[in-house]
Chain A
């Protein structure tokens, strides 16, 4: 008897994790707003807290087409070149 497996394993990719900063002080912050309700409000409150506590500044904000869509290539390039650290949100 031959058994057939209905499942597929995800394609595995090697992902290089960005280096973690040793301090948050004075870093440039990127924000990714996924357009969910209150996402922008929450992100900006978080950015304000990071500014007050660590002197971080928002250098780039990316507003996604929708929560379902990926960030486009231009957006990724901007985040890479202009931000030291990126915060993305939100879920529900």
Chain B
């Protein structure tokens, strides 16, 4: 691993990825997040878990670069979404030597390892944008990076109030196969379309949603033992003893993206048991926003 990433090399990889020149500040900011000590790059980049580095872009640069935050936000069809994340991954492979089979030991990996970049839909957000919730100013442009190794779509077309809707999120975040049921890792919830509307019209705050998920994303110890997610035989008190997935509100990042139509949202459980933390970095644009 290099101690510094030469920007010339980053630029070469960005060109290979298909980036336009004006995308480079986003790529650089994302790489600064990856190199932040809190991100602890070694684990999420090399683990058998095969994390995608999910990039969430906020601020005025979103409109300037036309980064998709609407319909098909996680999918194909938009050059910045396709190429910014790809430039980050190519830099990880070519400059940071995180190559499959060498430092990257992913068992399966996933398509998000090619690219996973989207913007927040700040105009239809139930609350302040993600980067503002993490201490930056609304006028700042920023990229938040979180390592996740799964993406569960959450569907609910009937819920008209937060509680039943959020129970579906809590269940998705606490399924028995989820990698880190007992480690208080961070996870990402992406609210889309009609689910954003339900929460916006409810008057619930971001903190209320986080607290609800802390309370309800849980499994009985008995469930965990029967599935060998915890060692030992089941004893009677295990049936009424709960293990919670999250510990603090900040463990749950909530973003808003996706099309207006549809009852779909997403949960992306984070990699590691507090072994990595998401990092938000301000995007520095030479000469300011043109």
The residues of A with any CB-CB pair to B shorter than 8 Å are 4-8, 10-11, 35, 66-69, 92
Contact = CB atoms under 8 A, between A and B. Distances in A.
Interface of B: 1-3, 5-6, 9, 12-13, 15-16, 40-44, 48, 90, 94-95, 97, 272-276
Please classify the interface of chain A as helix (H, G, I), strand (E, B), loop, or mixed, using the class held by over half of its residues: loop
B272 A66 contact: yes
B43 A67 contact: yes
B40 A68 contact: yes
Contacts, number: 48
Contacts of B274: 66
Contacts of B95: 6-8
A68 B275 CA distance: 6
A68 B42 contact: yes
A5 B48 CA distance: 29
Contact of B43 (A4, A6, A11, A66): A66
B245 to A, nearest CB: 17
Nearest to B8: A4
A60 to B, nearest CB: 23
Residue from B2, B6, B9, B275 having most chain A Cβ neighbours under 10 A: B275
B44 A68 contact: yes
B94 A8 contact: yes
B270 to A, nearest CB: 12
B1 A10 contact: yes
B275 A4 contact: no
B275 A67 contact: yes
Given A68-B42, A92-B48, A10 B97 contact: yes
A34 B95 CA distance: 27
A71 B44 CA distance: 17
Nearest to B276: A68
B13 A68 contact: no
A68 B9 contact: no
Given A66-B40, A66-B43, A6 B16 contact: yes
Given A66-B40, A68-B43, A69-B40, A8 B2 contact: yes
Contacts of B90: 6
